[in-house]
Amino acid sequence: MNNCKRLARRPREECGVCGVFGHPDAAKLTYFGLYALQHRGQESAGIVSTDGARLYEHKSMGLVPEIFTEEKIQNLKGDIALGHVRYSTTGASTITNAQPFTASHQGLYLSVAHNGNIVNIRELRERLEKKGAIFQSTMDSEVVVHLLAHNLSKGLDKAIVETFSQLEGAFSMILMTQDRLIAIRDSHGFRPLCLGKLNNGSYIVASETCAFDLVEAQYIRDVKPGEVLTITREGLDSSCPLPKKKQSFCIFEHVYFARPDSDIFGVNVYSCRKKMGNILARECSIDADFVMPFPDSGNYAAIGYSQASGIPLEMGVIRNHYVGRTFIQPTQSMRDFTVRVKLNPVRSFLKDKKVIIIEDSIIRGTTGRSRIKSLREVGVKEVHMFISCPPTRFPCYYGIDFPTGAELIAASKSVDEIREHLGLDGLYYLSVEGLVEATGCDADSFCLACFTGDYPVLPDKKFHKLALGGL
Ligand code: SF4
């Protein structure tokens, strides 16, 4: 019997979005954009395109290259396309929840691709249900489409302002109709969203700039917090009609989620992660034989730590790049299989060494514990771990798959208790101030809630039920 088991979990981003307007290969370019954004969601993906007359759609569960064949992409006709990769933090992981979500209303086709969590969505949904609305999915995006339809008698532009002014929380969203692409970012600006230009002068909007590099698009600028950016045959139209709110970029995009080759909130992620390592070395320095990451999570901060401390950087564990998302269950006697199949320590090199491990974060602590155990088993003398962010003590409500406070190890244990739990000789975290300094921006620019508990906006009382799939 083939028993499949999912690999040990790391925190996951909810979604990535990409849209192209005015290019004959719109669907193909969107496909490449999604390919570059795969790290933002691996459960499902979809593309909807239009030739102005009708919509063409393909969505499925799985990874982007598994879902789209050359033939499937050729069937997505037209010069406007919208795509989405998804990992669910609200709603179940099923094909009905795959995006883009599309509906039609009085001749207008509306497709929506969304990144982020809207924290008053349950209240809004209940209000609509009382008025007779029927929902096909458990997604935030479907509620948004219903709200837009309710307001459409005033025209699409007014419907957008009325609808999006009611939403609280995180939304970096792209809407597509038969003749336009509309990018909208919440007034806090939690999730990134950026605008680029393709070689033929047409436009592309995507969650991260790494999507532009693959299709040779030029980055123009970020979609501003609270901005509604409409792309039509006439060009770009920008307005900022949504209520002003405190800017709260998600700093965790820099710590872990975004790709290092992206510029997020105007700062390159690779440089920022290296800087985190530099500052970590300045804040806490010890002697060791070498510094090493568990690839790939701590790679860039480890380079920064090594350069600032003068302690050599080594790759003491080797990553198997061919491990899929599932594998056949090992036998009982194969201890720590999940860890070893992916990351295997270099036994003879590590024996009797004092090592500094650089990690980007500790969420539950389960993966870290097994990894440290595997180092002890090959004879490492001392293991000290340095984390390139502060302890993650509070859950995220804005679109990152952080567990509830009860599952976050730093919510209930002190640093010393975590050290003991992981089997380490030393454990050190980057300070909040050091993390902000690494970005080169003011602390006021960021959401730091998972470290500080200071939430820019609180979810409604029913949010947790929704977040846990309670619909
Ligand atoms: Fe990002 Fe943490 Fe704020 Fe969530 S709580 S948006 S992960 S900084």
CA 290 – ligand 1 centroid, Å: 32
Residues in the chain: 471
Annotated domain spans of the chain: 15-248, 268-452
Query: What are the angstrom distances between the C-alpha of 344 and each of 337, 373, 380?
Result: 10, 12, 14
Q: What percent of the chain has pLDDT over 70?
A: 90
pLDDT of residue 470: 30
Q: Rounded distance, CA 333 to CA 339, Å?
A: 14
pLDDT tens digits, 403-452: 677 889 999 999 999 999 999 999 999 999 999 999 999 999 999 999 99
Strand partners, 73: none
Task: Over range 174-180, report the average pLDDT.
Answer: 97
Q: How many whole angstroms from 40 Cα to the centroid of ligand 1?
A: 15
pLDDT tens across 301-340, in order?
Answer: 999 999 999 999 999 999 888 776 555 666 666 666 767 7
Q: Which of 16-20, 90-94, 261-265, 342-346 has the lowest mean pLDDT?
A: 90-94
250 in contact with ligand 1, CB cutoff 6 A: yes
Share of the chain above pLDDT 90, in %: 76
- 365-375 mean pLDDT: 89
pLDDT range class, residue 107, cuts 50, 70, 90 = confident
Which residue reads 């009982």 in tokens? 332
**What gap in Å lies between CA 19 and CA 175, rounded to an integer?**
9
Per the prediction, the chain carries an average pLDDT of 90
**Mean of pLDDT values over 112-132:** 92
Residue 285 has pLDDT above 60, yes or no: yes
Question: Which pLDDT score is estimated for 341?
Answer: 76
Closest ligand 1 atom to 402 CA? 7
pLDDT band at 73 (very low <50, low <70, confident <90, very high): very high
Please check the confidence at residue 2 and state whether its pLDDT lies above 60.
Answer: no
Test site for ligand 1: of 89, 190, 400, most ligand atoms within 8 A of the Cβ: 400
Instruction: Kindly state the average pLDDT of the residues 235-242.
Output: 97
According to the model, what pLDDT value does residue 322 have? Answer: 79
Q: How far is CA 211 from CA 196, 230, 261, in A?
A: 10, 20, 10
Q: Which atom of ligand 1 is nearest to the CA of 190?
A: 6
Two domains, one topology: 15-248 and 268-452: no
**pTM of the predicted protein model:** 0.92
Looking at 3.40.50.720, 3.60.20.10, 3.40.50.10380, 3.10.105.10, the CATH number of the domain 15-248 comes to 3.60.20.10
Of all protein residues, whose CA lies closest to atom 6 belonging to ligand 1? 250
State whether the beta carbon of 190 lies less than 6 angstroms from ligand 1.
yes
- pLDDT category of residue 95 using cuts at 50, 70 and 90: confident
Q: What is the pLDDT of residues 394-410, one digit of tens each?
A: 999 998 877 677 889 99
Q: What is the pLDDT of residue 406?
A: 81
Ligand 1 near 264 CB (within 6 A): no
Report pLDDT for 404.
Answer: 78
pLDDT in tens, 138-151: 888 889 999 999 88
Secondary structure (H, E, C), 211-223 = HHHHCCCEEEEEC
Atom index in ligand 1 nearest the CA of residue 394 equals 5
Q: Does the beta carbon of 450 lie inside 6 Å of ligand 1?
A: yes
240, 295, 463, 284: which is closest to 384 by C-alpha?
Answer: 284
Residue 468 binned pLDDT confidence (cut-offs 50, 70, 90): very low
CB 449 less than 6 A from any atom of ligand 1: yes
Q: What is the CATH code for 268-452?
A: 3.40.50.2020
Ligand 1 and 447: CB distance under 6 A: yes
Which of 159, 164, 132, 161 has its CA nearest to residue 148? 159
Name the more confident of 1 and 282: 282
226: number of Cβ within 10 Å? 21
Judge if the beta carbon of residue 400 lies within 6 A of ligand 1.
yes
210 is known as an active-site residue: no
State in Å: Cα 251 to ligand 1 middle. 7
- Ligand 1 pocket mutation pick from 448, 452, 457, 458 by most atoms within 8 angstroms of CB: 448
| 174 has pLDDT over 80 | yes
Average pLDDT of the residues in 49-67: 95
